[in-house]
Structure 1
Amino acid sequence: MLKGKYTIVAFNSVGFPYAWDTNIIEFKEENNKVTVIHKPKGKRTAFKHTYDKDNELKIYNGWLGLDLIKNEMMSFDSSLLKVSQEPVFTL
């Protein structure tokens, strides 16, 4: 379904937002969970992440270059207001 260059935006286990510019290798959606195998920009190895229905996950087409780490005082919603396109996938 989804393969190629995308930006993944989600929350970590502590509740802070993060964004990855990544190449999605494999994308599986099954039983209220999503499994994404991807290789982030600038990394050599692939990562496997599983998101369940309790996670807020948005996947955007292309690399958006969102830097949520430097803007940690900014809320998740206000940083997404800068994104002009609609997400390709939302969980």
Structure 2
Amino acid sequence: MNILILFEMKFKQDMKILTGILDYYGFKKVTETLYITDLSAIELEEFKGKVKEKNIKKGSILIIPLCKGCYNKIETIGKEILNENKEYMIL
């Protein structure tokens, strides 16, 4: 399942912790606070557990699962961002 992660952190240390977890799970950086990857249901639950374990209180993390239909409808306009043979563009 393709997963988008969008977050806002008040403290840089929390952001550093979160981006470390994102890197560990193979998320690709799209923008400073937007990441994408493909995870199994088990990996997604593990990811959420690790994030909750870090007890980040001064921030918000939005986890957006994308079904294959929605994933295949992603369009690019302008500068392309390549991610596993799929191009992305942030408008």
* TM-score, length basis structure 1: 0.32
Q: Is the helix fraction higher in 1 or 2?
A: 2
Bigger RCO (CA 8 Å, 6+ sep): 2
* TM-score, length basis structure 2: 0.32
Choose 1 or 2 for highest CA Rg. 2
